[in-house]
């Protein structure tokens, strides 16, 4: 047992032995964006009190926890019932293949999210980050899950601003047709070794998705 520990380093070896979530999170933060990682997790869902076990790809950090993908849905793992969706009991970080992240900045003023998503090759891993602002006080709030609590949500709407934090098309729902009067964001592409560089396409936008004339005064 001592030889593997000496090769791994004290903290990483301790994490493998203890399966401590805090150590796993710290290990990920030290090595994020260099490799893909999977979290081998035993946790409890605080809402249903059901056990959750499995190996889940790690996306990023959130409020002293980690964002993971579970059955195609992004969830936050951590000890806070306010901020996290899953309460970890045991956790072990597993390193995968080397990872190359390519980020492209996009101005979204006058366009919809549907237009942006149409520019992205949906067969490649990607994430959207940034903010979009709609005209203050114009019309009802967008239908969907509002930012009522502080648990992780890839698309969080409050006060006329939609904040995206590692969102994909599947998480945007009714916000896809939101026209932004201001906004800028980043598209991250996650590439494996040997994969060709990804760029944004020209995109498509239907006539009904273009910014209405009455909103252009907010630009």
- CA dihedral of 128, 206, 107, 102, whole degrees rounded to 10: 40
Q: For 38-62, how does the pLDDT look when each residue is reduced to its tens digit (9 = 90+)?
A: 999 999 998 899 999 999 999 999 9
Q: For 93-151, how does the pLDDT look when each residue is reduced to its tens digit (9 = 90+)?
A: 999 999 999 999 987 777 888 988 999 988 889 999 999 887 664 444 444 444 445 68
Confidence of residue 69 (pLDDT cuts 50, 70, 90): very high
Cα 88 versus chain centre, distance: 19
Residues 6+ apart with CB under 8 A from 91: 19, 20, 21, 24, 39, 40, 41, 42, 43, 77
DSSP annotation of 141 reads P
Considering 7-16, 134-143, 194-203, the range whose residues carry the highest mean pLDDT is: 194-203
* Alpha helices (H) along the chain: 2-8, 10-18, 21-31, 113-118, 169-172
Q: For 151-191, how does the pLDDT look when each residue is reduced to its tens digit (9 = 90+)?
A: 899 999 888 889 999 999 999 988 898 888 888 889 999 99
pLDDT given for residue 204 in this prediction: 56
Q: For the range 31-34, what are the long-range contacts, defined as Cβ-Cβ under 8 Å and sequence gap of 24 or more?
A: 31/95, 32/60, 32/61, 33/99, 33/101, 34/98, 34/99
Q: Rounded to the nearest 5°, which phi and psi values hold at 80?
A: -95, 120
How far is 190 from 196, CA to CA, in rounded Å? Answer: 11
pLDDT at 210 over 70: no
SS3 assignment, position 192: coil
Question: Domains plus CATH for the chain?
Answer: 2-98 (2.30.30.690), 100-218 (no CATH)
How far is 100 from 122, CA to CA, in rounded Å? Answer: 18
List 98's β-bridge partners, or say none. 35
């Amino acid at each position: 047992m001592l030889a593997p520990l000496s090769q791994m380093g004290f903290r990483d070896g301790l994490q493998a032995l203890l399966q401590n979530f805090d150590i796993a999170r710290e290990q990920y933060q030290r090595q994020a964006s260099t490799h893909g990682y999977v979290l081998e997790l035993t946790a409890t869902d605080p809402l249903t009190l059901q056990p959750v076990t499995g190996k889940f790809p790690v996306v990023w950090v959130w409020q002293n926890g980690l964002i993971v993908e579970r059955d195609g849905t992004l969830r936050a793992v951590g000890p806070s019932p306010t901020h996290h969706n899953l309460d970890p009991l045991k956790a072990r970080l597993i390193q995968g293949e080397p990872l190359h992240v390519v980020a492209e900045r996009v101005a979204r003023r006058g366009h919809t999210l549907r237009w942006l998503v149409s520019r992205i090759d949906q067969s490649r891993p990607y994430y959207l980050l940034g903010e979009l602002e709609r005209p203050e006080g114009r019309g009802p709030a967008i239908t969907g899950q509002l930012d009522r609590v502080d648990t992780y949500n890839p698309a969080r709407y409050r006060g006329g601003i939609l904040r995206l934090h590692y969102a994909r098309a599947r998480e945007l729902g009714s916000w896809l047709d939101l026209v932004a009067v201001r906004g800028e964001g980043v598209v991250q592409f996650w590439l494996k070794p040997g994969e060709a560089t990804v760029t944004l396409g020209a995109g498509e936008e239907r006539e009904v998705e273009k910014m209405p004339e009455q909103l252009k005064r907010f630009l």
